[in-house]
Chain A
Amino acid sequence: MKKFVFAAAIISIFAACLGVCAYAKGPDVIRIGVNAPLTGDIPKVGEGTKYAAQMWLKEVNAAGGIEVGGRKYKVELVIEDNEAKAESAVKATTKLITEEDVLAIVGPQASKQAIPAGGIANELGTPMISPWSTNPDTTKDRPFVFRGCFLDPFQGPVVANFVKSEFGFTKAAVLYDVASDYPKGLAEFFKKAWEGLNGAGSVVAYESFTTKDADFSSQLTKIINSGAQFLFTPQYYNEVALIVQQVRQLGWKKPIVGSDSWGSAETVKLCGKDCYGSFFSTHYAAAGAKGATREFIDRYQKAYGYVPDDVAALTWDSVRIVKQAVQNCGKLTGDMKTDRKCVRDAMAKIREFDGITGKMTFTEEGDPIKCAVIVRISDKGEFEFYKSVCP
């Protein structure tokens, strides 16, 4: 008897729920996918992506959604974790496209996930914009794939030109991770640019290490003894702290220059005073920002308690580019294939997009033409705007 009552109760709950809880999804919803490394090696990157996207979502839905062709569409975000793995990034992208029916995808961030994921997005005809991937392969020959940042072949010369014009140095030292795609590529582009400016042999020390190394004393001693006038190290925030602290301990007082991978909120926290006074090239500068950039930083800081890093800023721009493209598309038919194509075409046509990381216009490859910013880490540990370098 008890059993029977129990079974009846369960069945009736189910039956009742079917009518009440079931919600039919109206056609007036646009779904945007976010593919971010929420777990794995670079969780801070994933967090920045997620927060920026969620902040955007709140803003858009507070305004009643995106208006396309005179109709308001509510927006839903589908956030997938790619574990900072290539395989998972591909699975997450496939899931977003085929199971979640998203109109466009923002992410993945790191190139090693963005390259394979971009292949899938392009094959399945879904616009994807990677805010942070700087590897040329991500967008190469892929009409559906875009990015929100400048590329390594641009950044290398920017750093070289900046140092040349600012200090007039002629001898450079480079320390980079040979096992990681981004530092290695950038180190090569920098070397080429520097030798173009100062002649062959002007990179007097070109030292490398392997990911997860923690002791750089032998490379740094070589660099110090080489007579280089400054050190360029395009590394991620955790290694930057180790390298800079160790080289300062060894008595090096000359300038240290970095790249956009320094631009994390963690860099100064880990590195402390040793990093003050260093320069790096990046996408935007938080301290001393004005206008829309200031507004974004303030809102982000209020909501999540820290100054957003470049990943958050680039994600913010990328989701706004998606929004702009959806609006420019003019009309959504409800057929995913046509709509995605329409959004892609609209995105490719965007001119002079006014982002918080600079004005952007996409090239045919889907790469933006935009300015780089040189940032100085101030004596208070803030990222201070120093100079803007445009292509």
Chain B
Amino acid sequence: MESTGDELSINGKLKSSRVREFVAPIPLLSWLLGALVAVALEHYIGTSFAQTLGLRKAPMLFGFDIMLKQPTLIHSALTYLVLIYFLPIIVVARLSAAGMNGLAAILIDYPLMLTVLIHLGMLYAILHWWSNMSLYRADVLRFTLIAVLLTLSLNLINGYMGEFSCSHPGFMALGAYASSVFTLGLFADDRVFGPALLPQWLGPYLFPVALVLGGVVAAVGALAVAIPSFRTRGDYLAIISLAFMFIVKSLIENLEFVGGPRGLGDQPGWANRPVVFVTVVLGIWIINNFVRSTLGKALNAVRDNEMAADAMTVDTRQTKITAFLFGAFWAGVAGGLYAHALRYINPGSFGIQMLAEGLAMVYFGGLNSVYGSIVGACSISLLGEMLRPLELFKWIIIPLLLILVMIFRPTGLIAFREFDVKKLVRPKQASDR
């Protein structure tokens, strides 16, 4: 019995190494090209192909909905997935690997910015085409991207700074309300704020100002948590930040001019796909630079041992306060995007449930890692959406997954990994691991 077990494991290892060998020489450009071909395929023949398979429409969100609601159609959904997504991506990526490696090798001599922009352009084209299939996909995409930004800003404090902050929904609420008041007050004929003060066409151009304003207000609010954080650590800071979240919620509930518990609605829908995409990419880029800078390293030093960091001439106070305000700023920006994507906010939304979701995304994806935040936010948001037909069981499956991750990878799926753009876009050799 033992020998067969060994054989099996060797066999398994052999297989996985074969897969790895097959995948190793494929650069990111080829993957993107493959995905582009897949979404193009779906765009042009997806609907008619799905109908020949007996589906009503191209399966949304990778067919999960159909598989869970109508088990008799599982094979059609799977066939669709394999033929439209899986095969084209693999085949195109593998076939174009050689050419794309050459292209990547040429691009590497140009400034990194150019390469990155080409990659991002392709990524946006993929997402755009994919989400053009229906408005629902576009909505899921927007809210997932916003979740990425929120998770990243939370990771900054919970992962990089090593404190347990519970105030992020509060920061997000501040950002959402500040930017909504700005746009509603200036550009919309609103019941609360009266007629528009500035012409409509100016609005989209000033939307970045609204977002920055949201971020700044959130950062100012963060001072209330940052100052006590000089004196307390660990559990106590968690309590203070939790209290802050409730203070913000109660404050907004009692502010009649922003609608109180009724909420604030009819924000202009300026947070469309390109705006959200650009803002989130910008956020990832700036946060990534921040955590890889001297300040970011100082932050890690404070987390690992505050006294030692102090002895090594790190100004711990300044480091902590900067990180806190910085994290809060991006949470505020995410809140501004959220308000203008949903077009309705009420204080009840920014409560414990949102906190729990944000924390789940951070810890699922991985602490101290930009990769982890992206993976965590995407997987939790998409899982939540894909498992929706399961109703109550969804709330059992997702926490169960979280528990499993915590058992087998206590710091999250991809923790403590640096997000090195240069490494990501360079050409690959077969020997690379």
Contacts and interface: CB of A to CB of B under 8 A. Distances in A.
B394 A86 contact: no
B261 A94 contact: no
Given A39-B391, A80-B388, A87-B143, A17 B134 contact: no
B409 interface: no
Contact of B135 (A14, A87, A97): A97
Interface in A266-284: none
Interface string A111-150: 0100110010000100000000001010000000000000
Given A23-B54, A179-B250, A14 B75 contact: yes
A18 B76 contact: yes
Contact of A181 (B73, B136, B250, B346): B346
Contacts of A87: 143, 342, 349
Contacts of B405: none
B135 A91 contact: no
Contact of B342 (A14, A95, A116): A116
Contacts of B73: 21
B263 A99 contact: no
Given A14-B79, A112-B348, A135-B262, A99 B136 contact: yes
B68 to A, nearest CB: 12
28 contacts: A14-B78, A17-B76, A21-B73, A21-B76, A22-B76, A24-B54, A38-B392, A39-B392, A39-B394, A39-B395, A81-B389, A81-B391, A85-B349, A86-B344, A86-B345, A86-B346, A87-B143, A90-B342, A92-B388, A99-B57, A99-B136, A112-B263, A119-B343, A124-B135, A181-B263, A181-B348, A184-B261, A210-B250
B261 A181 contact: yes
A338 interface: no
A14 B74 CA distance: 10
Contacts of B79: 14, 18
A356 B56 CA distance: 36
A336 to B, nearest CB: 12
Contacts of A112: 263, 346, 348-349
A91 B385 contact: yes
Provide the main secondary structure of the chain A interface: helix
Contacts of B306: none
Contacts of B385: 91
Interface in A13-64: 13-14, 17-18, 21-25, 38-39
A81 B388 contact: yes
Provide the main secondary structure of the chain B interface: helix
B210 to A, nearest CB: 19
A81 B389 CA distance: 7
Interface string A69-111: 0000000000011000111101110110111010000000000
B344 A95 contact: no
A178 B261 contact: yes
Interface in B393-411: 394-395
Interface residues of A, number: 41
Interface string B22-35: 00000000000000
A88 B200 CA distance: 29
Contacts of B51: 24
Contacts of A181: 261-263, 346, 348
Nearest to A36: B391
B315 interface: no
A174 to B, nearest CB: 16
Interface in B28-78: 51, 53-54, 56-57, 60, 65, 72-73, 75-76, 78
B318 interface: no
Given A39-B395, A81-B391, A87-B143, A99 B261 contact: no
B342 A86 contact: yes
A15 to B, nearest CB: 9
Contacts of B391: 38-39, 81
A112 to B, nearest CB: 6
Interface of A: 13-14, 17-18, 21-25, 38-39, 80-81, 85-88, 90-92, 94-95, 97-99, 101, 112, 115-116, 119, 124, 135, 137, 178-181, 184-185, 210-211
Given A13-B75, A87-B342, A180-B261, A95 B254 contact: no
Give the interface centre of A25, A101, A181 by most chain B CB atoms within 10 Å.
A181
Given A90-B342, A94-B139, A119-B266, A178 B75 contact: no
A86 B346 CA distance: 9
Contacts of B394: 39
A21 B347 contact: no
B204 interface: no
Nearest to B146: A87
Contacts of B392: 38-39
A98 B343 contact: no
B348 A115 contact: no
B140 interface: yes
A279 to B, nearest CB: 26
A24 B76 CA distance: 13
B260 interface: yes
Given A91-B140, A115-B263, A185-B262, 19 more contacts: A14-B75, A18-B53, A21-B76, A38-B391, A39-B394, A80-B388, A85-B349, A90-B342, A91-B143, A94-B139, A98-B134, A98-B135, A98-B136, A112-B349, A119-B344, A178-B253, A179-B249, A180-B348, A181-B348
A210 B266 CA distance: 26
A304 B407 CA distance: 41
Interface string B347-372: 11100010000000000000000000
B203 interface: no
Contacts of A86: 263, 342, 344-346, 349
A333 B134 CA distance: 22
Nearest to A135: B262
A119 B342 CA distance: 10
Contacts of B208: none
Nearest to A90: B342
Given A86-B344, A99-B134, A17 B75 contact: yes
A135 B395 CA distance: 29
Contacts of B134: 98-99
Contact of B56 (A21, A25, A88, A90): A25
A94 B253 CA distance: 28
Smallest CB-CB A-B distances: 8 pairs: A22-B54, A116-B344, A98-B134, A98-B135, A95-B136, A181-B261, A179-B253, A94-B136
Given A98-B135, A178-B254, A137 B342 contact: no
A23 B395 CA distance: 32
Given A39-B395, A87-B342, A184-B260, A21 B349 contact: no
Contact of A95 (B60, B72, B76): B60
A119 B135 CA distance: 14
A22 B139 CA distance: 29
B229 to A, nearest CB: 26
